[in-house]
């Protein structure tokens, strides 16, 4: 093989790598974004892993204040929101969201420790689209509820 043929062969491989990189970039760019606002590391790891495996881009905030800041920055397609967190709880986050035209229409799925009717009723009145009870759900239930709200 001549040096010219060899360099053409190398160029062909480089083009394939560039094309694959562009495909990966475009897929990443169009992935649905989920913001997980949760302070329990075990829940973060479990949900982040499962949702990423399902093809979602997952960002994490560990308290309500950080959650509000991140949602304004990234404009997620959906928010998974814990109720009891440090600094600012989930209900306060939802109240703040309702007052902000940039983020008020982002669907929220509440993550609750108790699942008490009073708590779930309040979440629904504040605009939550659905809820998960930590002690009762499995990861596939989360995926199913996410898909119901924003698709894949």
Q: In whole angstroms, how far apart are CA 131 and each of 3, 43, 45, 122?
A: 64, 15, 19, 11
At CA 56, angle to CA 62 and CA 100, rounded to 5? 55
Give the DSSP H/E element, type plus range, for residue 132: strand 130-133
Tell whether pTM > 0.85.
Answer: no
Q: What is the DSSP string of 33-64?
A: EEEEE---HHHHHHHHHHHHHTT-EEEEESSH
Ranges of the chain with pLDDT below 70: 1-29
pLDDT at 9: 44
Entry field: residues in the chain: 152
- What pLDDT score does 6 carry? 45
Q: Write down the pLDDT at residue 12.
A: 47
pLDDT at 30: 72
Give me the pLDDT at residue 112, please.
86
The pLDDT score that the predictor gives to residue 103 is 96
């Amino acid at each position: 093989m001549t040096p010219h043929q060899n360099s053409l062969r190398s160029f062909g491989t480089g083009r394939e790598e560039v094309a694959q990189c562009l495909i990966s970039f475009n897929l990443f760019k169009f992935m649905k974004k989920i913001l997980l606002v949760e302070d329990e590391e075990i829940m973060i790891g479990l949900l982040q892993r499962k949702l990423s495996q399902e093809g979602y881009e997952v960002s994490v905030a560990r308290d309500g204040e950080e959650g509000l800041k991140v949602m304004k920055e990234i404009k997620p397609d959906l928010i998974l929101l814990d109720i009891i967190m440090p600094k600012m709880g989930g209900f306060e986050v939802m109240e703040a969201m309702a007052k902000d035209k940039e983020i008020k229409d982002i669907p929220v799925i509440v993550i609750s420790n108790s699942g008490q009717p009073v708590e779930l009723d309040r979440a629904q009145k504040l605009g939550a689209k659905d809820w998960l009870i930590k002690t009762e759900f499995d990861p596939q239930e989360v995926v199913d509820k996410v898909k119901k709200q924003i698709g894949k």
